[in-house]
Amino acid sequence: MPEAFIGLGSNLCGESEGVYKDPKMQIQQAIKKIGGHSKINILAVSSLYQTGAIGPGDQPDYVNAAVKIETSLGAQGLLEALQLIENQQGRIRVERWGARTLDLDILVYDQLIENTQHLTLPHPRAHERAFVLAPLMDLKPDLVIPDRGKVIDLLANCSMQGIVRLNN
């Protein structure tokens, strides 16, 4: 079965249906939903990390994590399953890099390189973002991000300033 790595991020919470009381809980619930999918098996879960927001306006800090999975879904099917979970947890797409209740990204899918209108693999900026690489380091330091290199080497070239491992 194909192996994939999913990045998770959240910096909003709320009281509406499907939106949990804090970003940490948003991430924990998303992990449960990913693992509850009949065609996805979670192999490992990273620590949670608090990171400063990148994007427009004054945003709250993010909680980030990653999961290692195996799945019988193709890359597009996995993307659709993740977007459904985002929607169930109140994701509204308003502005690029804006605050969000939940962001689920396929970072690497079985070393596949793909660039379509809806899906780019590997994730186009994963290799330059410590908030993505630190959780991946927890899961598989020698993971190769196609055409970019090993996670351990990529993270060595990123600033960890402002990233804090949370007590799960």
Residues 54-61: contacts with CB under 8 Å, at least 24 apart: 54/97, 54/129, 55/95, 55/96, 55/97, 55/98, 55/99, 56/95, 56/97, 56/98, 57/98, 57/99, 59/11, 59/98, 59/99, 60/11, 60/12, 60/23, 60/99, 61/11
Active site amino acids: 91, 100, 103, 105
Q: Amino acid letter at 83?
A: Q
